[in-house]
Each structure stands twice: as structure tokens, then as C-alpha cells.
Amino acid sequence: LKEIIIIGGGLSGLVSAILLKRAGYAVVLYEKKEYPFQRVCGEYISNEVKPFLEKNKLFPAVFNPSCISKFLLSSINGKCIELDLDYGAFGISRYNFDNFLYKIALEEGVEIFTKVQVECVDFKENYFEVNLASGEVNYASLVIGAYGKRSKLDKVLKRGFIQKRSPYLGVKYHIRTSFDKETVAIHNFKNGYCGLVKIEEDLYNLCYLSSAKNLANCKSIPSMEKEILMKNPFLKDIWESSEFVDEKPEVINEISFETKSPIENHILMAGDSAGMITPLCGNGMAMAIRSASLLSNSVIEHFQPNRFDLGRRKMLEQDYIGKWKNEFENRLRIGRSIQKLYGKSFSSDLLVSFSRLIPSLATFLVSKTHGKYFN
């Protein structure tokens, strides 16, 4: 019987693995891909997690991440406003950041198996049976689900959100462009929005969330960009004046922002598996890191491998659910509400005009989607 199995090696899985290994547990992590690899992500990380990362020697300073302190928002018609960010952020590619954490986890003794997909998890009496795609079966006292926004496992677990089709797709490029190095921009377009932020070296991340309807109407990603995104003059300028580094973008679809439960069939969920915040908040990665920290604290408080009965398991689960809801429930709700204002001509114009009129209120709204510094 293994002590802890973690499914998924993104930020929430890797940070949980490192913290729990440091606390003395035997930790096994399964990741279906092989590091390093690209992900669809805006690569803007709120500074709320910087003190935590620095304190735990997990901040990727070696890559010289960008420092972001300003926010530019444009409406579909090209009206814009610039605001100062309260906390600010840093920009780094997931390619480098995840690989950096992966190497730390390996060095510190986490058993990591890449190119291994978990297919099914069953809770039996007081332990888990974990089935891998290869046919291998393993057993563990605790399982942490850190497998991201959507996985076959959600179907196996019959989670509510997976029954509904989601209308969003995400597209990411790395580009070279002349935009300000300290500003993150969000540009609206019909049924979507596109972020631009400096990351490491001379690269920028250009990442957008669009609707499946946009793609269906335009038939292909290049024509959707031309016919819909480039109606916003800022986006037209970016597409026409930048150097696109990769031949093709990274693309994902079926992105869902429906509510989820942080515990499912006794599996402790972290990061997007527990709940995904809308990308315009630029906060999913900070939440993934923070949920890994909360989860690890609950595990450390309640999990002693030789004395872990159902009563103690219940206490652990209640402790984690309480902490998770307290920290994230409101942020997720506010993120969903703000997203409704984006991607529409009238409301995105209104949002910009309103922010110009009362910048302090706009800054307040942004701060409500973020947490406070923690370490």
C-alpha cells in the first residue's frame, strides 16, 4: 500500500508532491505527458504566491521572469484603459516553470512516472485502487486529484460538470513583439478575450479564450483570428506586427467554469480539478499553488499512515473542504460574474468607460479575484 498517489503533474500536483515529500511522506506522482511541454495558459502568475514560492525555494528566478505592474483593458471597439495592479505578477512559460518544479520534485525523492495515465480510481473500505492505462494496478491510503480542468477521470467519477458541453476553447502562442514589458493586456473580441504579457527572455505570451461558435462560423483558427479577433484594432496590430515563434498554436477545447467539488469519492482535488477560475482573472496558477499548500497542510495535520482510520479521514476531508471554500468559493463566483461582461460589444465598452470614470472601483474588482499574499 503506497502512502500518497498524486494524479497529474501540473502546478498543483508538483507543489503538493514537493511539500508532502518534505513533510516525510512517500509520494508517487503520475503524469500522462513528458516534461518539458507546452500548455495553453496565459503564463501570468499573480504575485500573491511569490513569497510562498521564495520561502520554499520554488521561485523560478533562474529564468528571470518578467515583472508585471500595470493592466491595459480594451473593448471590442478599441476603447482602452490602463490601471496599476495592486499586487502585480510575474510572467514565465509553463514549459520552463513546470519543468523547473519537476526537477526539484525528482531531486527531493518524489517518485515520478511520466507518460503514465491514470484511468480509474476506486475507493474501497479505507484505501484506493488506482488503475493505470497500462493495466497496472496500485493501492494507496491517499489519492490527490491534480489532473487539471478536464480528464477522462471526471467521466469515470461521474462528476456533474462533465455531463455538460462547454462552449470555450483556448489558443496560445509565443511571440516577439514591441509591447510594454511591465503591462498585461486583455483585449476583448466578439465572444472572447485575448491576453498579452511578457514572459522570460524576449518572448511574450499571446493567449485567448474564444467560443466554439466563433470557430464553427469561421471554420478555422486563422480565419477566426482574421474575421473576429482582428476587429479589435489592438489585436490587428499585434497579429500584423509580431513574430510568431511556433508554426502552430497550442489549442484546447471544452473548457468549463462550472462549479466542482474539492473532494470526490474521497479523492482530494487540487488546482483546476477542484474548480477553475475564468482565465481573465489571471489567477488559476496562483490558485493551483495555493490549493496545493492548503491541501498539504490538511494532510500533514491529519494523516499518519499507521493510524489512519475512517474517522481521521473524515476529519482531514472536512478540514480541507472548509479551508478550500473559505479561500476560493468567492473568487470563483466573482470571476464567473466578471467574465459575463467580456466578449460583448456593449458591455465591454461599458466596462472600459466605467473603469475610466472610477478607476479605484475597477482596481477593487480586480483585487477581488485575487487572494492576499501568503507564505
Ligand X SMILES: Cc1cc2nc3c(=O)[nH]c(=O)nc-3n(C[C@H](O)[C@H](O)[C@H](O)COP(=O)(O)OP(=O)(O)OC[C@H]3O[C@@H](n4cnc5c(N)ncnc54)[C@H](O)[C@@H]3O)c2cc1C
* Angle of helix 284-302 versus helix 310-339 axis, rounded to 10: 170
Q: Determine if 371 is a binding residue for ligand X (CB under 6 A).
A: no
Q: Give backbone dihedrals phi and psi of 225, rounded to 5 degrees, phi first.
A: -65, -40
Chosen residue from 5, 6, 11, 112 binding ligand X by CB under 6 A: 11
Q: Determine if 58 is a binding residue for ligand X (CB under 6 A).
A: no
Chosen residue from 65, 148, 249, 262 binding ligand X by CB under 6 A: 148
Neighbours of 125 (CB within 10 A): 5
Closest approach of Cβ 304 to ligand X, in Å? 26
Q: Determine if 118 is a binding residue for ligand X (CB under 6 A).
A: yes
Where are the strands (E) in 47-182, listed by range? 66-74, 80-91, 111-114, 118-124, 127-132, 137-145, 168-176
The one segment of 39-47, 52-60, 314-322, 323-331 that binds ligand X by CB under 6 A: 39-47
For the chain, how big is the Rg over CA atoms in Å?
A: 21
Binding mask 155-184 for ligand X (x = CB under 6 A): ---------------x--------------
Neighbours of 292 (CB within 10 A): 28
Given the complex with ligand X, which of 43 and 200 has the nearer CB atom?
A: 43
Chosen residue from 48, 154, 264, 272 binding ligand X by CB under 6 A: 272
Closest approach of Cβ 254 to ligand X, in Å? 10
The candidate with the shortest Cα–Cα distance to 349, out of 24, 119, 74, 157, is 74
Q: Determine if 6 is a binding residue for ligand X (CB under 6 A).
A: no
The CA-CA-CA angle for residues 77, 349, 255, to 5°, reads 85
**Strand partners for 51:** none
Binding-site residue total for ligand X (CB under 6 A)?
A: 40
Contacts of residue 24, Cβ cutoff 8 Å, sequence gap at least 6: none
Chosen residue from 12, 66, 93, 211 binding ligand X by CB under 6 A: 12
Q: Determine if 13 is a binding residue for ligand X (CB under 6 A).
A: yes
Q: Are 273 and 295 in contact (CB under 8 A)?
A: no
Given the complex with ligand X, which of 70 and 312 has the nearer CB atom?
A: 70
- Omega within 30 of 0 (cis) for the link into 36: yes
Q: Determine if 138 is a binding residue for ligand X (CB under 6 A).
A: no
Given the complex with ligand X, which of 65 and 284 has the nearer CB atom?
A: 284
Place of cell 483570428: 225
Q: Pairing between strand 44-46 and 2-7? A: unpaired
Closest approach of Cβ 327 to ligand X, in Å? 14
Closest approach of Cβ 296 to ligand X, in Å? 14
Interface with ligand X by CB under 6 A: which residues? 7-13, 30-33, 40-45, 117-118, 146-148, 151, 153, 170, 195, 207, 209, 255, 271-273, 276, 279, 282-286, 288
